[in-house]
Structure 1
Amino acid sequence: MIDVEELDYDRLDDLLSMLRERAAWLEAKGMAMWDPTYLERDAFVARYGDPACFVFRDGDEAVGGFILVDRDEAWQERGGEDACYVHKLVVRPRFAGRGYAEEALGWILDFAEARGIDAVRLDYYADRPYLARLYAACGFAALPDRVMPDGTRITPAEARLPRDR
Structure 2
Amino acid sequence: MHLKSNKLMAATNYMLDEVNEIYLNCRNVLIQNRVFQWDDQYPNKEYFKECIENECLFVLMNDSKIIGHVVLNEWEPEEWELVTWQASNPIIIHSLMVDPRFQGRGVGKDFVRRCEEFAIEKEYNSIRLDAFSGNENAIRLYHHLGYQKRGRVSFKTKPEGYQEYICFEKTL
TM range (shorter): 0.7 to 0.9
77-86 or 152-161, which deviates more = 77-86
Q: Give, in whole Å, the separation in 2 of the partners of 1:125 and 1:66.
A: 16
Q: Give, as a single letter, the amino acid of the residue that structure 1 aligns with 2:168.
A: A
The runs of 5 or more residues in structure 1 that have no matched partner are: none
Moved beyond 6 Å, runs of 4+: 46-49
2:12 paired residue number: 8
- Measure how far apart 1:43 and its partner are: 5.0
1:106 equivalent to 2:113? Answer yes
TM-score by length of 1: 0.84
Give the percent of matched residue pairs that are identical in Structure 1 and Structure 2.
20
Q: Give, as a single letter, the amino acid of the residue that structure 2 aligns with 1:158.
A: E
Q: Secondary structure at the match of 1:38?
A: coil
Please list the CA deviations of residues 96-134 of structure 1 after superposition, one character each: whole Å capped at 9, or x if unmatched. 100011001101111111222121010001122222110
Q: Give, in whole Å, the separation in 2 of the partners of 1:15 and 1:103.
A: 18
Relative to structure 1, the CA distance from residue 80 to residue 25 in structure 2 (aligned partners, 3 Å threshold; closer, same or farther) is: closer
1:91 equivalent to 2:102? Answer no
1:34 equivalent to 2:77? Answer no
- Measure how far apart 1:45 and its partner are: 5.6
2:88 paired residue number: 81
Match of 1:127 among 103, 127, 134: 134
Q: Give, in whole Å, the separation in 1 of the partners of 2:97 and 2:113.
A: 14
What is the alpha-carbon root mean square deviation over aligned residues?
2.6
Number of equivalenced pairs: 161
Contact 1:15 1:54 in 2 (8 A): no
Relative to structure 1, the CA distance from residue 30 to residue 95 in structure 2 (aligned partners, 3 Å threshold; closer, same or farther) is: same
Q: Give the structure, 1 or 2, with the largest relative contact order (CA under 8 Å, sep 6 or more).
A: 2
1:147 equivalent to 2:154? Answer yes
Relative to structure 1, the CA distance from residue 55 to residue 43 in structure 2 (aligned partners, 3 Å threshold; closer, same or farther) is: closer
Match of 2:69 among 35, 40, 65: 65
Contact 1:21 1:92 in 2 (8 A): yes
Please list the CA deviations of residues 136-159 of structure 1 after superposition, one character each: whole Å capped at 9, or x if unmatched. 111211122122214411000011
